Amino acid sequence: MKNKWKTLLSLFLMTWVIFSFFLLINFGTQYIGKSYFDSGNFNANLGRFKDGIGRYVLEPFDLEEAKKQITVTQEEIEYHRNYYGSLTDQVANIKAQYQERIEQAADDPELQKMLTEERDRKIEDIKKNFSDDEYVEEKVRKQKEEIIDKYAASQKEEEKVFLDEFNYFAYELRNVETGETFQSGDVNADAVFTESFGRKNGYLVVNSSRTIQPDYYDDTLMNHEIPVTGKVFRFEGKITIPKSMMNNAYFKEDYQAFMLSKMSLYGIWATALLAIAALLTFAKPSLDNLLSHKRGKGLFLQLPVDVRIAVVLISASLAYKFILDMGNLIVYNTYYFQNEYWIRYIFDLAYHFAFLFIFAAVSILGAVWIWESLDNEEKVISEWKNAFLYRLSDGIQDLFLSRSIGVQALFILCVAFFAGFGFAVVFMDLQAIVVYVPLFLFIALPAVIVFLRNAGYLNRIMKQTEEMAEGRLTAEVEVKGKSPLAKHAQNLNELQEGVRKSLTEQAKSERLKTELITNVSHDLRTPLTSIITYTDLLKNPEITEEERNRYIEILDNKSQRLKTLIEDLFEVSKMSSGNVELKKERINLTQLLQQAVGEHKEDFEKANLELRVVLPDEPIYADVDGQKWWRVIDNLIVNALKYSLSGTRVYVTLKKVGSMAEFSVKNIANYELGDNVEELKERFKRADESRHTEGSGLGLAIAQSIVELHHGKLEIGVDGDLFKVVVTVSAV
């Protein structure tokens, strides 16, 4: 038990030394070797006295001189004159103001006459305002004189207050320029404070210039501040505070409090020196025993090193706070000790020192134990790997993969931390609850609500994601707000839609692949079957020469047909792979279209189709491969020739739209087109599903590939039986 009290005494002495050291740093310059008359409070009041004696005694306000300096500018005259509007506006306003009153006084002729005369005088005054500058100038001058008169009266009142407040000062001052002397009190009496002025110490300088600011504002006055120019005077002499006046000085209690604070600080610093001596002598063994306390040290070192450091830093911060609070009590609240509140004052000091002792002890012991646990590099590495923050580092890195989520999570953690810290502060100082409760209600509580709501929303998203993983793609994840979770929900919905579209495209691709194989087989087998059939017929020696020639002609047509199919298929395949060279040059699209239309004009007439061609008046040029662009135009015209209803019109148009050249072909189809017109651009796809018409079914696919190679656009439109193809490419 005896050793325990010794160790507590050692810790108390260390706390007292630390407390005294910080008081020395914070308040030493204010009190060591200083008197009350060096303090900031006294010098502020001394400054007020110097300013007041110059203003009210040495160079008081000269009313007549201020009035002589009044000036009225033409701008001020115009401002006053037009403040209520133009002449007609003001006259009309006065008449309107008096009209009703005059009418109401119809039963009292004398009153009516007085009102009429009053109105006429105001109207006459207004008219004179607009006709006579001197008349207006005199009005403005009088307004300024009234302001100066009121200012002079206020200066007299302020002078009385000043002389009553600073009656403990004595002074004897002489105007260096005029020789006039001002004296009050006995400056030669025994004084507690003296300040001299002169060539050696510097003169007391007084400037009689001032700017008068009225305590009321007349809006008809343009400039309310009235400058009064004065002179700068120098005074020599001295200002004193006689000892006999100390009892009358208002700062008597402040002086006594300063001296008591000074003696208190000197006493604390003296006892701190004794405490240091004790720690170096008889208290040292107890201190060594305390710093190596096995039980407390063992419990403390079980904490991660960063948590230990945090505990020490927080304890040190709180200890420093209590040091400052105690310092302020000793320095600025000592006057409590001089009256009936001295019991409360002593209690406040004891209360603050108790908490200072606790937090200082934790800081001292914790710092020493941490230092011992990190005395070599191996221990530092080992301790850091077991640190709380180090173990969280991987999780923190993953947390900030989404910056928004990371910031929000960090914000929630900070709110939780400061909410707990604030509770601790409220526990120590109940007055802090005034600040803590609003912060808790408007920051901490909403943050918790948002966290719980987002946690529930996350669970809902995870549940619906699980259903998506099981193949149920019917229900979309609900998107709520604009949070990262809402964005994640939106991404899941887009992923679900992408999967749904992928399945649809896959089914479509399988269907088109099947149709492609069927159509290719059909289109290749038809001419091949004919070739085989007519070849077998030619082998018959009994056929006539005429039949032989007819069979040879059919074989030639079918062979050419088969060749065309194979070449078209090869060309589509090559263009789809992008393995095509374009020889671009400046081509006249108008001329190219005229040539293409001219080659098929007779074919349209034979097919009983009326061809309508609309071309621009001026040529349209484009940077294209002429041979391949010819193929585009020819394929589209031939497509219209093959699939147009007999007896209808086919429209071929070329025009310039902005910076683009637009080529279009419109016709009435002789087969029902169906809904999905985009599939017509697929290879071997035709509107004629029965495939009775001639053609490879590659025309639109080839045209589409060529247009895309030129960075153009091919669009198909269907309105009932009306079929329309529009090709656009950049014009030059």
Domain shared by 243 and 169, yes or no? yes
Pairing of strands 191-197, 204-207: unpaired
**How far is residue 5's CA from residue 13's CA, in Å, rounded to a whole number?**
12
**Contact residues for 336 (Cβ-Cβ < 8 A; gap 6+):** 342, 344, 345
434-462 as b/e, with b when 16 or more CB fall inside 10 Å?
A: eebeeebeeebeebeeebeebeebeeebe
Place of tokens 């529009």: 726
Q: How far is CA 639 from CA 634, 644, 665, in A?
A: 8, 8, 10
Domain shared by 56 and 194, yes or no? yes
Q: What is the dihedral of CA 484, 486, 490, 495, to 10 degrees?
A: 60
Place of tokens 């409090």: 257
Domain boundary among 465, 491, 519: 465
Q: DSSP string spanning 157-222? A: HHHHHHHHHTTT-EEEEEETTT--EEEES-TTS-EEEEEEEBTTTB-EEEE--EEE--SS--TT-S
The answer to whether residue 494 is domain-embedded is: no
Domain shared by 157 and 263, yes or no? no
pLDDT value of position 695: 44
Domain shared by 126 and 267, yes or no? no
* Residue count (the chain): 732
Domain shared by 29 and 40, yes or no? no
Positions of E strands within 208-247: 210-212, 226-228, 232-242
The answer to whether residue 274 is domain-embedded is: yes
Helix ranges restricted to H, 214-304: 252-280, 284-291, 294-301
- Token representation of residue 95: 């008449």
Determine the structural domain holding residue 678 and report its residue range: 580-730
Domain shared by 609 and 660, yes or no? yes
Domain shared by 90 and 208, yes or no? yes
Q: Residue 174, Cα to own-chain centre: how many angstroms?
A: 62
Closest CA to 429 of 517, 343, 352: 352
**How far is residue 10's CA from residue 368's CA, in Å, rounded to a whole number?**
15
**How far is residue 541's CA from residue 546's CA, in Å, rounded to a whole number?**
13
Q: Which residues of the chain have pLDDT under 50?
A: 1, 512, 679, 681-696
pLDDT value of position 683: 37
Question: E strand or H helix at 717, and its extent?
Answer: strand 713-719
DSSP 58: I
Number of domains in the chain: 4
Closest CA to 13 of 196, 246, 276, 266: 276
Domain shared by 318 and 373, yes or no? yes
Domain shared by 197 and 256, yes or no? no
The answer to whether residue 312 is domain-embedded is: yes
Sign of the Cα pseudo-torsion (37, 42, 46, 49, in order): negative
Neighbouring-strand partners of residue 177: none
Domain boundary among 408, 434, 465: 465
Domain shared by 306 and 187, yes or no? no
The answer to whether residue 497 is domain-embedded is: no
Q: Return the ∠ at Cα 412 (arms to 406 and 418), rounded to 5°.
A: 130
- Token representation of residue 232: 């700068």
519 close to 499: Cβ distance less than 8 angstroms: no
**How far is residue 522's CA from residue 695's CA, in Å, rounded to a whole number?**
12
The answer to whether residue 172 is domain-embedded is: yes
Q: Count of alpha carbons within 13 Å of 63, Cβ hemisphere only?
A: 12
**Contact residues for 470 (Cβ-Cβ < 8 A; gap 6+):** none
Domain shared by 377 and 420, yes or no? no
Helix ranges restricted to H, 374-444: 377-385, 388-399, 403-428, 433-439
Helix (H, G, I), strand (E, B) or coil at 169: coil
**How far is residue 127's CA from residue 121's CA, in Å, rounded to a whole number?**
10
Domain shared by 21 and 82, yes or no? no
The answer to whether residue 470 is domain-embedded is: no
Residue 477 phi, psi (nearest 5): -75, 135
Residue 668 phi, psi (nearest 5): -95, 120
Domain boundary among 414, 446, 465: 465
Q: How far is CA 467 from CA 459, 464, 494, 502, in A?
A: 13, 5, 15, 18
Neighbouring-strand partners of residue 725: 665, 716
pLDDT value of position 590: 92
Question: E strand or H helix at 74, and its extent?
Answer: helix 74-81
pLDDT value of position 696: 45
The answer to whether residue 528 is domain-embedded is: no
The answer to whether residue 50 is domain-embedded is: yes
pLDDT value of position 390: 67
Q: Residue 156, Cβ neighbours under 10 Å: how many?
A: 11
236-272 as b/e, with b when 16 or more CB fall inside 10 Å?
A: bbbbbbbeebeeebebeebbebbebbbebbeebbeeb
Place of tokens 């063994």: 285
**How far is residue 224's CA from residue 214's CA, in Å, rounded to a whole number?**
7
pLDDT value of position 505: 64
